[in-house]
Amino acid sequence: MKKYIVMSIAAAIVTTSANAQNLDNIPLAKTYPVGVKKAVPATPKTAKVIKPVQKAQAVKEVKVVKKAPSVDLEKKVAKLEKSLKSLKKQLLKVKAHDATDNIKWNVDFRTAVDQLKYTTASGKEHKNSSLLSNRLWLNMAYAPTNSMIFKGQLSFNKAYGASPSNAANNNFPQRGYGFDTFDWVLNENLLDDKVRVRQAFWLYMSDSLLGSDISWTASLGRRPSTDGFLISLRDDQKPQSPLGHLINVEFDGASFKFGLDKLTTVSGMSLKFCFGRGLTNARARFNMDGGFATLGDYAKDTTTLKDIDLAGLIFVPYNDGQYKIMTTYYRGFNVPGFVMADPAMMSGQNSGMLAINNDGSFGLNQGLSMKTMGDQDGAGISVLVDGIGDGISDFLDGTKFFASFAWSKTHPDNTYQTLDMNKMMGAIQQGVQQALQQQNIANPTQAQIQATQAQVVQTMVGQLQANPQAAANFIKKEGMLGSNDDESGTSYWVGVNMPVVFTDDGTFGLEYNHGSKYWRPFTYAEDTMVGSKMAVRGKAFEAYYIQPIMKGFSAELRYTKLDYDYTGSQGFFGAGGTPMTMAQAKAFGMDPVEKADDIRLSLRYRF
């Protein structure tokens, strides 16, 4: 189809005396096909030539006259504009409300397989070559205002499948029973498929304390007191509040932090005060503890443990992002533990660790219960260098190095009595030698020694029961960690976390720590299947490789080796934490773990 160009010539209002014939000769519209030249018609000789009219006379200016809008229309427009502004304001409020008035969720899910190996002082081995587990953290946060935040974490942590019964625990489940469920470690142990609260706290933040240059925060609830500073590196996560060298347990409490950097002009300086309650002594609701004598709901019970409290501070003298120094001091009040040998074992009412078996040998008392042992102090200093040098190389920029030193000290109450097992074992060994000599046995077998020892113990127990004055010679006060004196322990810890050279974003870490004879931290909830490496009285080595696979998804291979010089590293603050050499423990008939190994492969997805 041909295209056409329509050419229009505007008609001019001629003010001269042109007649109708002249007007008819003015073409108003001509249409020409594209590509066809416009033909100029010849002027007929008989036609009258129209002279061009002067421009000023030919065309008059055309004015566009706007019709004034009515008053009603203006009012309607103004009303619509006002309604639109109001709707915009309401929409902004709705968006702001939706952005803050809801809980934000994120998920941290880990599947792991651990290969465990324990070697005892006698050389025996206990293993698990395929401990499969799933751990789920459901993290939540809510910020109704810029200054107030709620945070929480729900947790699920269990081994694959069901838990069989354990004959040694009266056929209770193998896991999820006894100290497995102690509140400090509840979400760190492999229990059942229940979802539990791991964290729940609110946090208030302000840029100024009473108009000063000191910023401050206040927080109360089930606080994040696990996976703290430095220990978080091997777990590939942001550090929580405490120093991981000393504190790694779940805790309920409060914290108040004051930012001092603006006041002092020292980068990152801050001071935090921390308070916690690790155990509450309160009878149950609707209790019948007193029989017909009402004792009161949630009233104190003087027959059991006292409230366990903790108070301390965390001081950061410097933190510029590359160099960070953290220090801490705390005191734990009324910390718990066990009595080694309850003198009541002679009468059958035994709450201590040791029990006399029917054959006269010593064994673990299944009815043991914890007592309040005293107080304990802890302090430490940790230094992290995040990036070696300044722009020397990408490898050094991505390398982290740290060193930490910590100290602990016990303050025993010396309230409870215990049998002095050193004296008793000395008397028992002397009695065994005399009995063997009387039987003229010069080279006794192990079976003969055990049988003779059983007879000696039974005889001694009978004599002590009949003669309380003689029994008093074997009774002493139970202290803390096997000592009636204040005992101090120390630990040091060094490590490096660096980029791997064969991938773009993988990291490799090496760590070593050492603890002395009376070293005792609060690190029961550490994420190590064979026990807390930070609590080791001896040496601990660790190597790990963390490799991101895709966004939010990573893999980790980790090897942890514990080498104990003394017993009691994983115990509480009473006799269970008594440090003995492996030789001393064997002499008491014990067979403690001397070495422990944990190889873990895990896959973790965070979104």
Q: Render the burial of 372-395: b for 16+ CB within 10 Å, e for the rest.
A: bbbbbbbbbbbbbebbbeeeeeee
pLDDT at position 101: 66
The distance of Cα 65 from the centroid of its chain, to the nearest Å, equals 77
Residue 458 included in any domain: yes
Q: Determine the 3-state secondary structure of 3 from DSSP.
A: coil
Note whether 354 and 366 are within 8 A (CB).
Answer: no
Tally of domains within the chain: 3
Amino acid letter at 126? H
The whole-number average pLDDT for the span 95-100 is 61
pLDDT score of 193 more than 80: yes
Report the pLDDT value the prediction gives residue 63, as an integer from 0 to 100: 59
CATH value at residue 599: 2.40.160.10
Asked whether residue 413 falls in the same domain as residue 444, the answer is no
pLDDT band, residue 98 (cuts 50/70/90): low
Q: Is the pLDDT of residue 38 over 90?
A: no
**For range 206-214, the mean pLDDT:** 95
State residue 424's pLDDT score.
Answer: 84
Same domain as 135, residue 13: no
Classify residue 91: in a domain, yes or no: no
How does residue 233 score in pLDDT terms, banded at 50, 70 and 90? very high
Give the pLDDT score at 95: 66
Of residues 543 and 62, more confidently modeled: 543
For residue 489, being part of any structural domain is answered with: yes
Check whether 22 has a pLDDT greater than 80: no
Looking at residue 67, its pLDDT comes to 59
pLDDT higher than threshold 70 for residue 29: no
How high does pLDDT run on average in the chain?
86
In a domain, 80, yes or no: no
pLDDT at 532 over 90: yes
> To which residue do tokens 């050492």 refer?
514
Q: Residue 99 has what pLDDT? A: 60
Flag whether 67 is in a domain. no
Q: Domain range holding 6?
A: 1-61
How many beta carbons lie within 10 A of that of residue 69, not counting itself? 10
What pLDDT sits at residue 302? Answer: 92
Q: Which of 31-40, 185-194, 267-276 has the lowest mean pLDDT?
A: 31-40
Neighbours of 408 (CB within 10 A): 25
Cα dihedral 106, 112, 117, 118, rounded to 10, equals 20
Least confident among 41-50, 291-300, 317-326, 423-432: 41-50
The closest of 29, 28, 19 to 50, measured between CA atoms, is 19
Tokens 């991981």 appear where?
Answer: 244
Higher pLDDT, 47 or 205: 205
Read off the pLDDT band of 360 (50, 70, 90).
low
Phi-psi region of 178 (alpha: psi -120 to 50; beta: other; left: phi over 0): left
Q: How far apart are CA 342 and CA 354, in angstroms?
A: 8
Output the CA torsion 243→249→250→253 (10° steps): -60
pLDDT value at residue 368: 87
56 and 131 share one domain: no
Residue type, 523: T
Backbone φ and ψ for 26, nearest 5 degrees, come out as -90, 115
Q: Based on the domain organization, do 489 and 590 belong to the same domain?
A: yes
In a domain, 98, yes or no: no
**Is the pLDDT at 18 greater than 50, yes or no?**
no
| Model confidence at 508: pLDDT above 70 | yes
State both tokens at 304.
């059991």
Decide which of 473, 488, 512 is a domain's last residue: 473
Judged by DSSP in three states, 261 sits in helix
How many Å apart are CA 545 and CA 552, to the nearest integer?
A: 17
Residue scoring higher pLDDT (69 or 303): 303
Using pLDDT thresholds of 50, 70 and 90, give the confidence band for residue 27: very low
Kindly state whether residues 537 and 568 are assigned to the same domain: yes
Find all residues with CB under 8 Å of 544, minimum gap 6, and list them.
234, 508, 509, 556, 557, 558, 559
The per-residue pLDDT for 80 is 86
**Type and span of the H or E element at 562:** strand 553-564
Domain membership of residue 271 (yes or no) is yes
Mean pLDDT of all residues in 371-385: 98
Q: What was the pLDDT predicted at 40?
A: 46
Higher pLDDT, 425 or 39: 425
What's the pLDDT band for 512 if we cut at 50, 70, 90? Answer: very high
Query: Quick one: DSSP state of residue 457?
Result: H
First to last CA, the chain: 62
Secondary structure tally for the chain: helices H, strands E: 10, 24
Q: What is the DSSP-derived secondary structure letter of residue 292? A: T
List, for residues 41-71, the tens digit of each pLDDT value: 444 444 444 445 444 444 455 555 555 667 7
Regarding whether 299 and 445 lie in a shared domain, the answer is: no
Indicate whether 508 and 550 sit together in one domain: yes
Q: Is the pLDDT of residue 590 over 90?
A: no
For the segment 251-269, the average pLDDT, to the nearest whole number, is: 96
Same domain (yes/no): 284, 377: yes
Distance of CA 144 to the CA centre of its chain: 24
Rounded Cα–Cα distance for residues 489 and 518 (Å): 4
DSSP letters spanning 236-252: TS---SSBTTTB-S-EE
Do 335 and 374 contact (CB within 8 A), yes or no? yes
pLDDT score of 471:
83
Residue with tokens 């069989």: 164
What six digits make up the tokens of 397? 């920029």
Cα separation, 60 vs 15, whole angstroms: 9
In degrees and rounded to multiples of 5, residue 146 shows phi and psi of -70, -15
Same domain, 412 and 425: no
Sign of CA dihedral 188, 193, 194, 199: positive
3-class SS of residue 77: helix
* Antiparallel, parallel or unpaired: β 308-319 and 417-419: unpaired
Tell me if 85 is assigned to some domain.
no
pLDDT at 406 over 50: yes
Structure confidence at residue 65 (pLDDT)? 55
Indicate the range of 110-119, 243-252, 284-293, 422-431 predicted with least confidence. Answer: 422-431
Are residue 428 and residue 363 in the same domain, yes or no?
no
Whole-number Å distance between alpha carbons of 256 and 265: 21
**Cα–Cα dist 571/584, whole Å:** 17
pLDDT at 20: 40
Percent of the chain with pLDDT over 70: 86
Asked whether 266 and 331 are in contact (CB, 8 A), the reply is no
Report pLDDT digits (tens) over 113-166: 999 999 999 999 999 999 999 999 999 999 988 999 999 999 999 999 988 887
Residues contacting residue 455 through CB under 8 Å, at least 6 positions apart: 360, 435
Per-residue pLDDT at 504 exceeds 60: yes
Q: Within 10 A of 223 (CB to CB), how many other CB atoms are there?
A: 24
218 and 188, same structural domain?
yes
pLDDT of residue 585 exceeding 70:
yes
Long-range contacts of the stretch 173-182 (C-beta < 8 A, 24+): 182/524
Length of the chain (residues)? 607
pLDDT-derived band at 24 (thresholds 50, 70, 90) equals very low
Same domain, 381 and 462: no
Q: What is the pLDDT of residue 37?
A: 46
